[in-house]
Structure 1
Amino acid sequence: MLRQDSNDDTEDVSLFDADEEVSTRSKKSKIRHPVASFFHLFFRVSAIVVYLLCELISSSFIACMVSIILLLSCDFWAVKNVTGRLMVGLRWWNQVDDDGKSHWVFEARKASAQGKKVSSEAESRIFWLGLVTCPVIWVIFAFSALFSFKVKWLAVVTMGVVLQGANLYGYIKCKVGRRTNLTSMATSYLGRQFLRQTVVKDDQAES
């Protein structure tokens, strides 16, 4: 009887742990800021859709250009000031000190003392997917406009590349660290790989 009670206790604990794992998994996949997630994609996707369908929507180039630039500007402001801070806990901005010098600041919110993550995995995926994919699309549009000699659209696509590329660069700097240079990271990585291969070759030669 005592052995049976002990087994029952063990089963209760395992069931409790399973419930805790399920709840933790659901919290990670839950979107905690649905409005921010929506507008993170809405403005940039809308700008791309308007660019692709502008000739069907309106015959006025000025109206299409103003609409696209307005959407790109709203996207730049929303991503830089709102969605990055809420969805992934990152932010960047420019400030001027007392001497009149301009400084770029890149910050990443630290995790809490309980080890709680700043953002959920679902929000992080949405944020970085939209942040990386859309600038690549605008670069493709830029090459397409250049090679097809659509000179009037070059200003529009250049604006898309600059505004969305600026946010991408800023948040990569926040993610990597403001004191870490991407070039030095790549160099150190290649150096470690070369050193590792050299050690492996030496071990094989000795054996």
Structure 2
Amino acid sequence: MQRQDTQDAPLFGEEDENNQRKRSKMRHPLVSFFHLFFRTSAILVYLFCDILSGRFVVCMVTIILLLSCDFWTVKTHSKNTKSSAESRVFWLGLLVCPIFWILFVFSTVFSFNIKWLVVVILGLVLQWANLYGYVRCKVGGKSNLRNMAKNYLGVQILKRATKQPESF
């Protein structure tokens, strides 16, 4: 039997593959780009601030503006996220960038560069607030994250307590 005869009906598994491809394509690539652009730009401005501008205030304001634009973009992005690829970009950006700001806090403290400590703490707070807000939205607005963690730990302890001891 030739494929021409069966063009009306998809072969086994073809429909699933086509739907998977449609969902994984980015429907809003510009929003995804700016989501990562503002976050990485703030990190790059911090790293290369001495090269770009020797003025502390200019760099601090630029970083705050970039992170504020990121906050707005993430809000827009989360409303428009429909595909799995966009979701991965969204959560990757939300999770990875705060790690950089944590590293910057430690490097600033250990290098005794106190004037930059304000900037990195502000960057960390803004990124962490964004992450916390969206994790909370993902989990559910009514449930408390602390209660969820306690429940999870309680279930894990109960599982271990009821587990049959292994015989030697």
Question: Which 4+ residue blocks in structure 1 deviate beyond 3 angstroms?
Answer: 11-15
Once the two structures are TM-superposed, the CA of residue 14 in structure 1 deviates from its matched residue by 8.2
Superposition RMSD on alpha carbons, in Å? 2.4
Distance in 2, matches of 1:50 and 1:152, equals 16
Q: Secondary structure at the match of 2:54?
A: coil
Distance in 1, matches of 2:63 and 2:163, equals 55
Q: Which of 92, 101, 112 matches 1:149?
A: 112
Q: Which of 47, 50, 59 matches 1:55?
A: 50
Q: Establish whether residue 197 from structure 1 lines up as the match of residue 160 from structure 2.
A: yes
Equivalent residues in 2 for 1:156-175, closer than 5 Å: 156-175=119-138
Structure number with larger C-alpha Rg: 1
Q: In the alignment, which residue of structure 1 is the partner of 2:28?
A: 33
Q: Secondary structure at the match of 1:17?
A: coil
Distance in 2, matches of 1:166 and 1:62, equals 23
Equivalent residues in 2 for 1:105-116, closer than 5 Å: none
Q: Deviations over 1:167-191 (max 9, x none)?
A: 1111011000112122222222222
Q: Establish whether residue 184 from structure 1 lines up as the match of residue 147 from structure 2.
A: yes
Q: In the alignment, which residue of structure 2 is the partner of 1:17?
A: 12
Equivalent residues in 2 for 1:57-72, closer than 5 Å: 57-72=52-67
Q: Deviations over 1:54-88 (max 9, x none)?
A: 112222222222221211111122213x112112x
Distance in 1, matches of 2:62 and 2:112, equals 22
Once the two structures are TM-superposed, the CA of residue 153 in structure 1 deviates from its matched residue by 0.7
Q: In the alignment, which residue of structure 2 is the partner of 1:112?
A: none
- Which structure 1 segments of 5+ residues have no match? 1-6, 88-118
Distance in 2, matches of 1:162 and 1:195, equals 35
Distance in 1, matches of 2:77 and 2:9, equals 39
Distance in 2, matches of 1:64 and 1:34, equals 28
Once the two structures are TM-superposed, the CA of residue 156 in structure 1 deviates from its matched residue by 1.0
Q: 1:151 to 1:192 in 2, by over 3 A?
A: same
TM, length-normalised to structure 2? 0.87
TM, length-normalised to structure 1? 0.72
- Which structure 2 segments of 5+ residues have no match? none
